[in-house]
Structure 1
Amino acid sequence: MLSTLTISNYALIDSLEVDFNKGFTVITGETGAGKSILLGGLSLVLGKRADLSSLRVKDQKCIIEGTFKIDTYGLQNFFEENDLDYEDSTVIRREILPSGKSRAFVNDTPVTLGVLSVLGENLIDIHSQHQTMQLTENDFQLKLVDALANNQKRLAEYRKGLKIFRKAQKELQELVEVQSTAIKEQDYNTFMLEELEKAPLKEGIVELLEEEYEQLNNVELIMEQLSKGDQLFNDEQIGVLPLVTEMRQSFSKLIDFGVHYKDLYERVQSVLIELDDVNAELQRLQDGVEANPNQLEQVNGKLQLLYDLLKKHNASDVSELIEIKNKLADKVFETAGLDEKIASKTKEIQEMEAVLKKQAIAIREKRNAVIPQLKKKLESDLNSLGMPSASFQISLNDTENFNTTGMDELSFLFTANKGGNYGELKKVASGGELSRIMLVIKALLAKYEKLPTIMFDEIDTGVSGEISNRMADIMKEMSADLQVFSITHLPQVASKGNHHFKVYKTEGAERTMTNLKELTTEERVVELAHMLGGKDLSDSALAHAKQLLN
């Protein structure tokens, strides 16, 4: 509920602070006194856009602040989702700067107008002529039916499933698009993969092949040098091995003459062992070297293939080619497995669809069950509001589409006249009729839903005294469960309020100001008498005013 409203430097309001209570609050005042200004200021707190025309004094900022008691509104999740500090008594402040910029705060945390607007919808429902048109919208009409049908939990479960269903549909569409693209690229990717799979791709392969190529390409030179080495090692006259062997034999005769000779002998022995090993390796290499043009051609072919692939794929080494090959393999595999994925996702969606249909049918059955009750209640309440021939035709039509409200289209037809033609509310109901219909609907909703504070802006315009009495009674009954405001010109309505505020103007030497004050019982009598009889107070008007106030 709205507990405090503070306004400064806004339109004709210099400075205003007023406290409100629960129950039924009425606001009266002469035409032009500033009731619309009050509503305008409140709308800014609820997220309406502002401009410089809002500033009373153009070089000072305008501040409008509302304090709301929200402990029963269940808004903790909203505050958490928007990173706001939750307080049972929440303060919303709106500032309009002389530069034209606007700022909004919730419990001193800056917020966007979007966040403020959503929060505002959960705090106050301002009923105006524009808001009355909401009555003609199918979703709002279904909301009324669902309130009576107690469908809130069923709809919440259905919408939760619908969200998952739509996500799955999107995923299926993406799979189909991926498959379509993949099919177009499949032949190309397969060709590229096969080409890479034929190549000898492994780390260091290029270096190994280049080394083998150099050996095969220079086999004559290698054989010539190895043969020369063999001769130098083993020639009987000048061969290294025979000479070192002879040297070892000579030094063996000296080993008994001292440790130095023995060391020299052992060193020659070590050299001979190493030379024997080198000679053995030389023999092995000689045995393995031979001219092989076919092998040379094969090695050259492999190298050229690798060089071409590196250039084709703009890769710096074989490891990059291996990575490219693996990615292509994944793509080809994914394409091959897409049919299975699409089939699985399609089956999943079909199962979800069956569950959603079952839920939607349960919602529809509950709706159909309460429609006769709703029709009877609306017609009865409108009869008491001076519309004795008001009649509704309310029915549900099945659809094949999953909407957030189910699988139903609601036909909500109306006629105000006996024997009249039924039509859509927006086409056949007058503004006054729509206002009365909205009033009885809001009263009905208040019994089934936790509604925010409601402010009726001259909902009683153009109705007679007796009907206005009944409208006041309805608003009074609603205020037992929620805070209700009514801006009214009718004394019958004003007299029913638990609290009565008057909007009035005062004129100073240089400017006119709008003010708001709560009336005492005596002041209420005078205000009602003025509303009944005009500026001149008569005894009969005062007596009638006291009678209205009991």
Structure 2
Amino acid sequence: MLAQLSIRDFAIIDSISITFHDGLTVLTGETGAGKSIIIDAIQLLAGGRGSVGYVRHGSKKAQIEGLFIVDEYDHPVQKVCKHFGIEVEDGQIVLERIITSSGKSICKVNSKLVTLAILREIGKTLIDIHSQHETQTLMNPDQHIHLLDLYESEETEKALAKYKFLYDKLVKLQKRFQELNDNEQETAQRLDLLNFQKRELEEANLVAGEDAKLEEEKLILSNFEKVFTALQDAYNALYGDGKGLDWVGQALASLEEQQHIDPYIAEKAKEIADHYYALEDLTYDLRNKLDSLQFDPERLNEIEGRLNELNRLKKKYGSTVSKMLEYLAKVEEEIEQIDNKESHLSELQEQINECKKDLQLEAQQLHHIRKRSANALEKSVVEELKDLYLEKATFNVSFQKEMDEAGEPKLHKFGFDHIRFLVSTNLGEPPKEINKIASGGELSRMMLALKKIFAKHQGVTSVIFDEVDTGVSGRVAQAIAEKIFEVSCQSQVLCITHLPQVAAMADTHLYIEKKEKQNRTVTSVKELNKEEQIMELSRMLTGTQLTETAKDHAKELLDFASSYKEKELTPQR
């Protein structure tokens, strides 16, 4: 859920901080008070497009922060955050969006800077905003197949995983076939290039690891004087009269003379003897190394020349000799495939045909599962629409498919089905796509019915309705109020409304007010208590003039809402 929202210098908002709760929160207030501005801020927080126009006049930047509390293990956002390397501790996610007066946009998730695209990916798992004027997932026909797959998803997920595995395999096979089957001129040009690269790499006589060995040898030869001096100084410090080894020998002799008296002395004499002989061996090694050292400027020139040649090749074929040898192996393999193009094409075509057969079977299985889900979904939606006084409405899940040249269903990433949700709200009218419904009131009810069904499947933390109840009244308004409350039993719901029936159903009622402060317009937010809620509902019922009748009606609405929630829906929460 969205637990806390802070907005600073955004449009007419100076600075506000709002605490949100579970369940249904309604936002009411006069037109122009700033209700939709708050929703705009949340939308920007979820990765919406911003502009300089959102920055409050005279301010350097607009800043929005939101704290979300999610399930520590099961919420979809956990997987998205892990993919982008964002840590989530204690199920808390903080989104931050800053828009500067110069037009720069800064996005952060849990204090980590992210791109707008990443913020949008995370935001869409947390917030779903629906308004009369905005096309959302349910309104987008391309998303209907994914929504259907969410409905009774367990069986669909397994079948879809098998299908996607085979589909990815088919795409790779077809890409390879296309590469091999390019026109003759391109193939000939490619073969010439590959043969040139092969000759160049073979003539270099590459040996795995030689670049590292050459660099090591070059370092020693380039610093010959320093190496020689270091070895000579070490040897001279150890060997000779009055030097290190001589003093250790004297210490050994001194202890050995008295070792028969004290076991401790005998023990230490043995230890020193071990060190003496080890130092003696080390001294001989240093002497031998000094004797073998010989500065060879020709060898240094040879090494530098070889390294220059290797570095030239590295720019073209790989960062190390080993990687260049790996590239050579790939070149040889591709040359072999081109030289034997026809046999490889035949083999690939056979693999493609076999993969397509398997895919068609998996797609058919997906189709059958979706058909069963569609029948169940259609019944659920019709039942929801009846509750919203659309008794004559019908809801159909349309299945279509395109055919390929062979007369087989054309496959895409999710099978061969093309899904569309079709609706008819009046008896005798043919079903149309949801986004073609003309009546705003009918559209509002249709969207609420679908939201109710999919809220628990989509896993969205917060659902936001921005005046979706426009164009309805009377018993339909009450039905919409009840349906919005039902959605809030699955997800946190924030709702801007002008309907007193919806406002009465709220678990939390926030009043948005526009005031003047130091000759500037500012927006304030107040959580209403019971008496204040009665006054606000009265205003919504009658306008500016508050009458006792309106107050009584407001009390009745609150009592009815309280009774409805207690008797019907509270056990679901």
* Alignment-derived partner of residue 462 in structure 2: 453
SS at match of 1:30: coil
Provide TM-score, normalisation by structure 1.
0.70
Q: Would you say the 8 A contact 2:132–2:467 is kept in 1?
A: no
**What is the Cα deviation at residue 184 of structure 1?**
7.6
**What is the Cα deviation at residue 419 of structure 1?**
1.5
| Residue 133 to residue 18, structure 1, CA distance change in 2 (3 Å) | closer
SS at match of 1:100: coil
SS at match of 2:426: coil
**What is the Cα deviation at residue 101 of structure 1?**
1.6
* Alignment-derived partner of residue 480 in structure 2: 471
| Residue 332 to residue 506, structure 1, CA distance change in 2 (3 Å) | closer
After superposition, the C-alpha distances for 1:120-167 in whole angstroms (9 at most, x for unaligned) are 111100002344464343333223332334223322442343233222
| Residue 433 to residue 155, structure 1, CA distance change in 2 (3 Å) | farther
* Alignment-derived partner of residue 14 in structure 1: 14
Q: Would you say the 8 A contact 2:65–2:94 is kept in 1?
A: yes
- 1:110 and 2:113 aligned: yes
Q: Would you say the 8 A contact 2:469–2:497 is kept in 1?
A: yes
- 1:27 and 2:37 aligned: no
* Alignment-derived partner of residue 175 in structure 2: 170
Q: How many residues align?
A: 421
* Partners of 1:361 and 1:141 in 2: CA distance: 18
- 1:47 and 2:76 aligned: no
**What is the Cα deviation at residue 178 of structure 1?**
8.0
Q: Of 86, 90, 94, which aligns to 1:91?
A: 94
* Alignment-derived partner of residue 159 in structure 2: 154
Q: Of 74, 78, 81, which aligns to 1:79?
A: 81
Q: Would you say the 8 A contact 1:496–1:549 is kept in 2?
A: yes
* Partners of 2:411 and 2:364 in 1: CA distance: 11
| Residue 535 to residue 182, structure 1, CA distance change in 2 (3 Å) | closer
* Alignment-derived partner of residue 548 in structure 1: 557
* Partners of 1:402 and 1:522 in 2: CA distance: 61
Pairing of 1:499-514 with structure 2 (within 5 A): 499-514=508-523
**What is the Cα deviation at residue 80 of structure 1?**
2.7
Q: Would you say the 8 A contact 1:532–1:541 is kept in 2?
A: yes
SS at match of 1:407: coil
**What is the Cα deviation at residue 5 of structure 1?**
0.3
* Alignment-derived partner of residue 69 in structure 1: 69
* Alignment-derived partner of residue 340 in structure 1: 343
Percent of residue pairs bearing the same amino acid type? 36
Aligned Cα root-mean-square deviation (Å): 3.1
- 1:366 and 2:375 aligned: no
**What is the Cα deviation at residue 409 of structure 1?**
2.2
SS at match of 2:9: strand
Q: Of 410, 418, 439, which aligns to 1:409?
A: 418
Structure 1: state its 5+ residue gaps.
204-322
* Partners of 1:458 and 1:401 in 2: CA distance: 41
Pairing of 1:258-407 with structure 2 (within 5 A): 333-399=336-402, 400-407=409-416
After superposition, the C-alpha distances for 1:174-204 in whole angstroms (9 at most, x for unaligned) are 1222877446888x99x99xxx9xxxx9x9x
* Partners of 1:372 and 1:410 in 2: CA distance: 13
* Partners of 2:3 and 2:334 in 1: CA distance: 64
* Alignment-derived partner of residue 226 in structure 1: none
Q: Which amino acid aligns with 1:391?
A: T
- 1:492 and 2:501 aligned: yes
Q: Would you say the 8 A contact 1:453–1:482 is kept in 2?
A: yes
**What is the Cα deviation at residue 455 of structure 1?**
0.2
Q: Of 136, 141, 144, which aligns to 1:141?
A: 144
SS at match of 1:517: strand
SS at match of 1:50: coil
After superposition, the C-alpha distances for 1:62-119 in whole angstroms (9 at most, x for unaligned) are 2111111123423333223223232321111112223332211111111111111111
* Partners of 1:457 and 1:77 in 2: CA distance: 29
Q: Would you say the 8 A contact 2:77–2:126 is kept in 1?
A: no
* Alignment-derived partner of residue 528 in structure 1: 537
* Alignment-derived partner of residue 245 in structure 1: none
* Partners of 2:88 and 2:111 in 1: CA distance: 11
Q: Would you say the 8 A contact 1:183–1:335 is kept in 2?
A: no
Q: Which amino acid aligns with 1:445?
A: F
SS at match of 1:537: coil
* Partners of 2:166 and 2:352 in 1: CA distance: 11
**What is the Cα deviation at residue 441 of structure 1?**
0.7
Q: Would you say the 8 A contact 1:179–1:335 is kept in 2?
A: no
* Partners of 2:331 and 2:514 in 1: CA distance: 80
Q: Which amino acid aligns with 1:96?
A: I
SS at match of 2:519: coil
Query: Could you tell which deviates more after superposition, 59-68 or 19-28?
Result: 59-68
**What is the Cα deviation at residue 337 of structure 1?**
2.6
* Partners of 2:59 and 2:190 in 1: CA distance: 66
SS at match of 2:33: coil
* Partners of 2:448 and 2:468 in 1: CA distance: 8
Q: Would you say the 8 A contact 1:149–1:366 is kept in 2?
A: no
Q: Would you say the 8 A contact 1:458–1:489 is kept in 2?
A: yes
After superposition, the C-alpha distances for 1:251-305 in whole angstroms (9 at most, x for unaligned) are xxxxxxxxxxxxxxxxxxxxxxxxxxxxxxxxxxxxxxxxxxxxxxxxxxxxxxx
| Residue 493 to residue 444, structure 1, CA distance change in 2 (3 Å) | same
The structure with more radius of gyration: 1
| Residue 120 to residue 18, structure 1, CA distance change in 2 (3 Å) | same
SS at match of 2:76: coil
* Partners of 2:43 and 2:60 in 1: CA distance: 20
Q: Which amino acid aligns with 1:532?
A: L
Q: Which amino acid aligns with 2:94?
A: V
Q: Would you say the 8 A contact 1:61–1:98 is kept in 2?
A: yes
Q: Would you say the 8 A contact 2:81–2:122 is kept in 1?
A: no
Q: Which amino acid aligns with 1:521?
A: K
| Residue 431 to residue 161, structure 1, CA distance change in 2 (3 Å) | farther
**What is the Cα deviation at residue 374 of structure 1?**
2.5
**What is the Cα deviation at residue 413 of structure 1?**
3.1
* Partners of 1:386 and 1:328 in 2: CA distance: 69
Q: Of 125, 130, 148, which aligns to 1:127?
A: 130
**What is the Cα deviation at residue 462 of structure 1?**
1.0
Q: Would you say the 8 A contact 1:149–1:367 is kept in 2?
A: no
| Residue 403 to residue 182, structure 1, CA distance change in 2 (3 Å) | closer
**What is the Cα deviation at residue 11 of structure 1?**
1.1
Q: Which amino acid aligns with 1:401?
A: K
Q: Would you say the 8 A contact 1:41–1:64 is kept in 2?
A: yes
After superposition, the C-alpha distances for 1:214-269 in whole angstroms (9 at most, x for unaligned) are xxxxxxxxxxxxxxxxxxxxxxxxxxxxxxxxxxxxxxxxxxxxxxxxxxxxxxxx
SS at match of 2:18: strand
| Residue 180 to residue 15, structure 1, CA distance change in 2 (3 Å) | same
| Residue 79 to residue 536, structure 1, CA distance change in 2 (3 Å) | same
Q: Would you say the 8 A contact 2:467–2:495 is kept in 1?
A: yes
After superposition, the C-alpha distances for 1:433-485 in whole angstroms (9 at most, x for unaligned) are 22211111111112444233100111111111311211121221222221111
SS at match of 1:525: helix
Q: Would you say the 8 A contact 1:149–1:370 is kept in 2?
A: yes
**What is the Cα deviation at residue 331 of structure 1?**
7.2
Q: Which amino acid aligns with 1:18?
A: I
Q: Of 511, 515, 523, which aligns to 2:524?
A: 515
* Partners of 2:86 and 2:25 in 1: CA distance: 30
* Alignment-derived partner of residue 225 in structure 2: none
Q: Which amino acid aligns with 1:161?
A: L
